[in-house]
Amino acid sequence: MRNYIIRRALNLLLVLFIVSVLIFLLIRLAPGDPARVMAGEHASPEALAAMRKQWGLDKPIVEQYIIWLGHALRGDLGRSIQSHESVLRELLLRFPNTFELSLFAIIFALLIGLPAGIISAVKRYSIFDYGSMILALFGVSMPVFWLGIMLLMIFGIELNLLPIGGRLSVYISLKPITHFYLIDSLLELNFPAFFDAIKHLILPSIALGTIPMAFIARITRSSMLDVLHQDYIRTARSKGLAESKVIRKHALRNALIPILTAAGTEFALLMGGAILTETVFSWPGIGTYIVQAVNARDYPAVQGSVIFVALLISIVNLAVDITYAYVDPRIHYK
């Protein structure tokens, strides 16, 4: 296992290097000049030249990359052109926001998608099977931004049941400790803030978790159908085991590998920045930060965000691979 983790870590470094080269080149191919964004549309050529020199944009692109890479290897992702703040610090401040939203979204997806897929496989070709698969198809096809807007209009505006944006209501005070609002509110025994934070998470979590929920439901059904036709399932039933125990202990556990892959992949993608959901719900996470950075042609912020996201996705995928060995004893990493 240790050798496997070391090899994966080395592969991770290679992936991050390739991603850094690609994003460094692609962001500079995009139309727009960050110097003009900062100096203004009517800035003089002298002001633009001074701005480019200040931010090192006048140097050859290879030299710019080498300088940026040297700083990045020391943990310095540069300073944002917009805010003049450290990119890494801003990402770390927004990471808890995106993590809480992604965690609630994947929990919602598992709570709905996993039982739906299991029941659909057990009751194959039943009304429930057809209904859940139609619902899964509907979820996969649903545009996230449209679903988010509909949830806002129905539950936030028309029914006035849930908040329509942000992480906390303006009348709730909370002192940030870890910047994970749920943890901070519990540490301070601030239960009004805890329940208010949960209320703010409901609508964006549903909007963000709908597509993963549908995907997990379909993967679970397919994986369970493969397992339910195996010989050991028939043997377990012939021994007189209760059907619920056959499904739970024998079928589900052996069907977990594809489900874990699907859930882990979806969670990694959600952690990468739920751009549309965060934008619709005014959620101050990594996705919103990336959108603002791209609009402002903020090279350091875009480059740092993409590297940060690539690192998160790689770590989650590695964690899922390691989990395989604990879920299925037949898997060994040599």
Residue pLDDT, tens place only, 190-211: 999 999 999 999 999 999 888 8
Whether residue 29 is predicted with pLDDT greater than 90 in this model: the reply is: no
Give the side-chain half-sphere CA count within 13 A for 13: 8
What pLDDT score does 325 carry? 65
- Give the confidence band of 255 by pLDDT, cuts at 50, 70, 90: confident
Mean pLDDT of 224-237: 82
Task: Give the residue-averaged pLDDT of 52-62.
Answer: 78
Average pLDDT over residues 269-298: 82
The pLDDT tens digits of the residues spanning 299-315 come to 888 888 888 888 888 88
**Dihedral of CA 300/302/305/306: which sign?**
negative
Question: What integer pLDDT is reported at residue 323 of this predicted model?
Answer: 75
Q: Which residue has the higher pLDDT, 179 or 55?
A: 179
Please tell me the number of Cα atoms within 13 Å of 194 on its side-chain side. 10
CATH architecture of 95-327: Orthogonal Bundle (1.10)
Predicted TM-score (pTM) of the model is: 0.83
Q: What is each CA distance from 52 to 57, 59, 82, 101, 239, in whole angstroms?
A: 5, 9, 14, 37, 77
Is residue 307 within 8 Å of 77, Cβ to Cβ?
yes
Q: With a cut of 90, say whether residue 34 has pLDDT above it.
A: no
pLDDT (0 to 100) of residue 272:
67
Integer Cα distance of 91 and 113 in angstroms = 31
Query: Cα–Cα distance between 113 and 14 in angstroms, integer?
Result: 35
Rounded Cα gap, residues 183 and 306, in angstroms: 27
Q: What is the pLDDT of residue 173?
A: 86
Relative orientation angle of helices 61-73 and 2-29, to the nearest 10 degrees: 140
Dihedral over Cα of 247, 251, 252, 258: its sign:
negative
For residue range 209-229, list pLDDT tens digits in order. 888 898 898 898 888 888 888
Query: Domain coordinates of the chain in residue numbers?
Result: 2-73, 95-327
- φ/ψ (deg, to 5) at 235: -65, -45
pLDDT of the residue at 41: 67
